[in-house]
Amino acid sequence: FDNWPLQRGFDRYSGFLGGATDQFYPELTYDNHHIDPPTTPENGYHLTEDLIDHSIKFINDQKSIYPKRPFFLYMGLSATHSPHQAPKSYIDKYKGRFDSGWDHVRDEWFAKQLELGIVPAETELAPRNPGVDSWSDLSANAQKLALKLQESFAGFLDHTDDEIGRLVEYLSDSDELDNTIFLVLSDNGASQEGGAQGVSDEGRFNHPLLDDLETIDSILEGIGSPVSSPNYPWGWAQAGNTPLKWYKSTTHAGGVRDPLIVHWPAGIKTAGEIREQFTHVTDIVPTILNLLSLDAPEIHRGIPQIPVTGESFAYTFEDGNIETERGPQYFEMFGHRAIWADNWKAVSRHRKNAPYTDDEWELYNLNEDFSECNDLSTERPEKLRELIDTWWIEAGKNNVLPLDDRSFQLLAPSQRPGGIHENLRYRYVPPLSRLTQDTSPPMGMGEWTLLADIERDEEDQGGVIFARGKRTSGLSLFIQDNILCFDYNAFRQVTKVRSDF
C-alpha cells in the first residue's frame, strides 16, 4: 500500500493500479481497497465513463464542503492504451473511414498537419518503419483485420474525447472552467505491441499466437467489444505517429514526442496558438508552482523531499517567438538513449542484451529536421560527441546509471527478492478476497502445479475452486454436476478436462 495514491498524498482515489486494464471489466481500486465495477458492459459500463463520473463527484464533494478552496485532480485515463475497447456505436461510426489504407491515410494526416501548422512547413515525412508492409501488399483478410482494429482505436479515441468534454461541461456549468488550469497530454507515442498484423487479443503478441487470417471473418464483429482485447498493427501505429518514425518504448520522436494542450482562459490570452519551445513532462510541476507563485517544499512533515527537476514553461504562454529557456534533457528506455540540448538531439537504438558500446548514435538538428530524417552524425562528429558526453552527465545526475535493458523485471517489484512472487509458491485458505492480476500467481508463461484440498458439506455440492483470467483468456477449476472440471482458455482456444471423483 505504500505507493498507492492515498499514501502518496491524494485525499480520494478511484481508478486502476495495473497497466493495460480492460475497459469493460477493469480491476478497480477505490481509496485504499479493491472493488468490482458498479455494473456490467451489458448495462452500459465503460471504464472511461466511470473515471469521469468519479472525477466530477470528487470535485463536487470538495466544492460543496469547501467552496473557496482550490482543487487538484489527476485523471489518468487508460485511453487510448490497449486494449482498444469502446461502445459499439463509437466503433461503428468509423466503419469505412480508413478503407484507403494506412499509406494513404498517413499522407492525408501529414498534409493536414502542414495545413494547420502543427509541424513546420519544411518537415519531411519519415520513411516507412522496418516491418511495415505497403497496404497494397496485404491480403484481403489482413486488410479486414487491420481496418477493424483501427476503427476500434478511432472509436475509443472519439469516446474519450466526448467523456473529457463531459468533465469540461461540468466545470463550465459550475463556473470553475475559466480559472482552472487544464493540461491534457499523452504519455508516449503510438504502441508497437500489436505487431505487424495486429491482434484481437493483446496477449497473443507476447506468446505469440497470431489470429488465423483464414477464419478472420468469425471474430471481426467482436473486435473492440468486451469479448476482445485488441491492439492495432504497426502500420496504423506508424500513421498515428505521423510524421515521425519508430514507436512507443523508443527514444526517437515517435516514442517520446507527444501533444500537450494547456487551457486556462483566465490566465492565457493567446488561445489556439501553437508553441514550439521544447518542453518535457517534468516541467509540468514547476510550471504549476510558478503560476501559483509557490516554491516546492524542501521538507514535508519532517521528511527531506527529492528536488523537483524540470523548468517552468509558463514563459511561453504569451510569446510564441521567445527563445527556449530549457536546459538539456536526457531520455532512456529499455537501453534506448537520447539527449536533447539547444534543439539538437542525439539518439540511439539498443539491441537487448548487446553491449552498450555497440549502440550506434544518430544526430539531428531539430531546427531544420522536425521528424529526425537527416542523420548528421558523420558530418558533425564533434557535435555528436558533445551531446553523448552531456547524456552521461545528465544520466549520472538523475540516477539513470547503471544502464539496465531489462523491462518487466524492473517494472514488477513483486518479483524482486522479498516480493510476493519471490518463491513462486502460494497457499490460499478461505475466506480470501479476490486477488488482483499483479498479486495472483503468474501462470501464463510456463509449467505449474495446482493442488486443491476439497471438503464438501454435501456429496453433490459444486462451485469454483480456483479461477484466474478474463473472457479472452484464463482458467478455472470447478465442480459441476458432481464432475471435477478444468477449463483452460488460451485466446479462444479452449481445452476442457473432466474427471469423476
319-342 per-position pLDDT tens digit:
999 999 999 999 999 999 999 999
Identify whether residues 428 and 479 lie together within a single domain.
Answer: yes
Helix axes 140-173, 47-65, angle to 10 degrees: 10
Identify whether residues 139 and 251 lie together within a single domain.
Answer: yes
Q: Is residue 96 part of a domain?
A: yes
Q: Is residue 266 part of a domain?
A: no
Model confidence over 166-223: pLDDT tens digits? Answer: 999 999 999 999 999 999 999 999 999 999 999 999 877 776 778 899 999 999 999 9
Stronger pLDDT, 363 or 443, i.e. the higher one: 363
Q: Name the DSSP class of 495.
A: E
Model confidence over 38-74: pLDDT tens digits? Answer: 999 999 999 999 999 999 999 999 999 999 999 999 9
Inform me whether the pLDDT recorded for 414 exceeds 60: no
Number of domains in the chain: 5
Contacts of 451 (CB under 8 A, 6+ apart): none
Intra-chain end-to-end CA distance of the chain, in Å: 42
Stronger pLDDT, 168 or 413, i.e. the higher one: 168
Inform me whether the pLDDT recorded for 147 exceeds 70: yes
Range(s) of the domain holding residue 446: 422-500
Model confidence over 264-313: pLDDT tens digits? Answer: 999 999 999 999 999 999 999 999 999 999 999 999 989 999 999 999 99
What count of other Cβ atoms lies within 10 Å of the Cβ of residue 155? 24
Q: Is residue 117 part of a domain?
A: yes
Cell of residue 104, nine digits: 494513404
Identify whether residues 435 and 474 lie together within a single domain.
Answer: yes
> Which of the four pLDDT bands, split at 50, 70 and 90, describes residue 416?
low
Q: Is residue 175 part of a domain?
A: yes
Q: What pLDDT does 459 receive? A: 84
Inform me whether the pLDDT recorded for 445 exceeds 70: no
Q: What pLDDT does 412 receive? A: 59
User: Residue 498: beta bridge partners?
Assistant: 485
Identify whether residues 111 and 184 lie together within a single domain.
Answer: yes
Identify whether residues 314 and 339 lie together within a single domain.
Answer: no
The vertex-429 CA angle with 423 and 430, nearest 5°, equals 145
Q: What pLDDT does 404 receive? A: 92
Inform me whether the pLDDT recorded for 413 exceeds 70: no
